[in-house]
Chains A and B, each alone.
Chain A
């Protein structure tokens, strides 16, 4: 269980406050410890980048919040997730099915990596947006249709009135992702979670989608954004704060400039060094992190990164590091002080 070291600021400051979330899956090979005590907070209008590789637990964490994990095999073992919207406070992890369904779309929008599987192939895309508008804004059919057409226009679909009647297969991947964003915006939620929304898209289309999210959601509506990705470059342009996840825990979090300029966790450092820089021409080797991703079948009572870490020492095997403050709002879970090159005492 990870508890923040900093005294919690006045609770009302946070839109979403996740504390000590643990999620596991039953599998034929045993219990998979997917999320092992994740805590993070989101302020209104803030954009948080959640960076991690496959198996880091970044998607599972977010799916757990909006009740999208299939149970069984998934189970939420511990934790709270307080959502505070319009003065009302609710624990998402304790919420019932009906309550969490109202949260989805109404208070938290979700955009997935693969829009084709998230859209109903037999339904006109306009109607899929209108359905969400009806549900969350309580509008009648005609009014909902008008709002849906406006939404299509605002996500940059040309000729929205005609495109309202199109089916998902008639759209390209980038346009489908625009539709997904329109659906997420339909309920005008204060938070939208993006789960690798541009991973399957080409780089020029990715640039279009990022631009769209920045202008329509961040600038115009002040929506708080959680952007899940494995790509440190994409998140650099969109996030105010970054949480780096590894082996089901947050290993480092902080303001974006801090994380990129002064990373304090060996994993974050390794990740940043593994990306070819702007002028990398192959004369230098990439710094790679040796070894393989962690085995989630073992419950980590140790530092999950320890087997791949160049700085690991006895304590990393004996004791799991908890997040500690290294600078203003910058926290890291590591027994080693990278700047001074000595273990933490």
Chain B
């Protein structure tokens, strides 16, 4: 809300917050999405404090313990243990860290690259625009699974590689959205009016372009985050993501898969549920964001 050498405070934060509360309470689905996403974040951040056990600690004596609601389940291992006796709950809690890292950092990289490219393409236009958009199409046309396999086999399996890869491959989406919005905004009456007043480009960017990019990009980022979490789980499942010694939902699915029909279904069911809930909550949040961040929709009344 602040910019320029002089700041005139015409919109107050408390008013904005009350509006936010009113908007979120009106939409139960959005509220659920928001609460779940916030809990996921908290779980990931406070994993060491929340997890009852060391996720890597093996204890063959306690292996294959059933979850609490099955016969023989104990509160010691509420979601049971795997074949090596590792606590499933603790592993899911730590696994959230991988998912959250991939989702947030992947999306952040994609937004940063995409917005930069989109802004330049939209504002400069002409040949540079054409060149950048061709590059974007090129990135889009490369099958990402093949790139992942190549990267994993050449550079090794690491979370960093996965995050970078997702960030780069998702950036074209953000570049296209940014460019489209910039092309629309630069023709908008308020940008023309600002130019007619003598506003310089940086001022126009800060006051008129960026604030109006936040809505569409944030919405898109939410959906992309959930997609990246899904993809990461898929790659882990295929053994192309984080090394097996790091607990992640995809790794857990993979190792649980073999026991799915041999009496230990919870080894796959619980990480599967975690993935599904995360995806659902982010999509709910994204839908809600799309609705409230579009002033045209909010304006449409009467």
Task: Report Cα–Cα, A341/B178, bound state, in Å.
Answer: 61
Q: Give the residues in chain A near B127, CB-CB below 8 Å.
A: none
Number of A-B contacts (CB under 8 A): 12
Task: Report Cα–Cα, A28/B26, bound state, in Å.
Answer: 8
Q: Give the residues in chain A near B26, CB-CB below 8 Å.
A: 28
B189 at the A interface (CB under 8 A): no
A27 at the B interface (CB under 8 A): yes
Task: Report Cα–Cα, A32/B302, bound state, in Å.
Answer: 6
A29 at the B interface (CB under 8 A): yes
B301 at the A interface (CB under 8 A): yes
A234 at the B interface (CB under 8 A): no
Q: Which chain A residues (291-322) contact chain B, with CB distance < 8 Å?
A: 295-297
List the A residue with the shortest CB-CB distance to B22. A28
Task: Report Cα–Cα, A233/B302, bound state, in Å.
Answer: 27
Q: Which chain B residues (274-302) contact chain A, with CB distance < 8 Å?
A: 301-302
Contact A28 B301 (CB under 8 A): yes
A55 at the B interface (CB under 8 A): yes
List the A residue with the shortest CB-CB distance to B26. A28
SS of B interface (majority): loop
B35 to chain A, nearest CB (A): 21
Q: How many residues of B contact A (CB 8 A)?
A: 3
Q: Give the residues in chain B near A34, CB-CB below 8 Å.
A: 302
Q: How many residues of A contact B (CB 8 A)?
A: 9
Task: Report Cα–Cα, A55/B300, bound state, in Å.
Answer: 13
Q: Give the residues in chain B near A29, CB-CB below 8 Å.
A: 301
Contact A55 B302 (CB under 8 A): yes
Q: Give the residues in chain B near A296, CB-CB below 8 Å.
A: 302
Over the window 25-64 of chain A, the binary record of Cβ atoms lying under 8 Å from chain B Cβ atoms (1 yes, 0 no) is: 0011100101000000000000000000001000000000
Over the window 7-34 of chain B, the binary record of Cβ atoms lying under 8 Å from chain A Cβ atoms (1 yes, 0 no) is: 0000000000000000000100000000
Task: Report Cα–Cα, A273/B106, bound state, in Å.
Answer: 63
Q: Give the residues in chain B near A55, CB-CB below 8 Å.
A: 302
Task: Report Cα–Cα, A29/B301, bound state, in Å.
Answer: 8
Task: Report Cα–Cα, A121/B276, bound state, in Å.
Answer: 41
Q: Give the residues in chain A near B301, CB-CB below 8 Å.
A: 27-29, 32
Task: Report Cα–Cα, A295/B301, bound state, in Å.
Answer: 10
Task: Report Cα–Cα, A297/B301, bound state, in Å.
Answer: 10
Task: Report Cα–Cα, A295/B302, bound state, in Å.
Answer: 8
Task: Report Cα–Cα, A32/B300, bound state, in Å.
Answer: 12
Task: Report Cα–Cα, A224/B145, bound state, in Å.
Answer: 66
List the B residue with the shortest CB-CB distance to A294. B302
Task: Report Cα–Cα, A32/B301, bound state, in Å.
Answer: 8
Q: Give the residues in chain B near A27, CB-CB below 8 Å.
A: 301-302
List the A residue with the shortest CB-CB distance to B23. A28
Task: Report Cα–Cα, A297/B78, bound state, in Å.
Answer: 52
Q: Give the residues in chain B near A297, CB-CB below 8 Å.
A: 302
List the B residue with the shortest CB-CB distance to A28. B26
B74 to chain A, nearest CB (A): 49
List the A residue with the shortest CB-CB distance to B298. A28
Over the window 83-94 of chain B, the binary record of Cβ atoms lying under 8 Å from chain A Cβ atoms (1 yes, 0 no) is: 000000000000
Q: Which chain A residues (63-121) contact chain B, with CB distance < 8 Å?
A: none
Q: Give the residues in chain A near B302, CB-CB below 8 Å.
A: 27, 32, 34, 55, 295-297
Task: Report Cα–Cα, A71/B26, bound state, in Å.
Answer: 21
Q: Give the residues in chain B near A295, CB-CB below 8 Å.
A: 302
Task: Report Cα–Cα, A29/B302, bound state, in Å.
Answer: 9
Q: Which chain B residues (136-174) contact chain A, with CB distance < 8 Å?
A: none
Q: Give the residues in chain B near A32, CB-CB below 8 Å.
A: 301-302
Q: Give the residues in chain B near A28, CB-CB below 8 Å.
A: 26, 301
Task: Report Cα–Cα, A27/B301, bound state, in Å.
Answer: 7
Beyond contacts A29-B301, A34-B302, A55-B302: 6 other A-B pairs, Cβ-Cβ < 8 A, are: A27-B301, A27-B302, A28-B301, A32-B301, A32-B302, A297-B302
By Cβ-Cβ distance, the 3 closest A-B pairs, closest first, are A296-B302, A27-B301, A32-B302
12 contacts between A and B (CB under 8 A): A27-B301, A27-B302, A28-B26, A28-B301, A29-B301, A32-B301, A32-B302, A34-B302, A55-B302, A295-B302, A296-B302, A297-B302
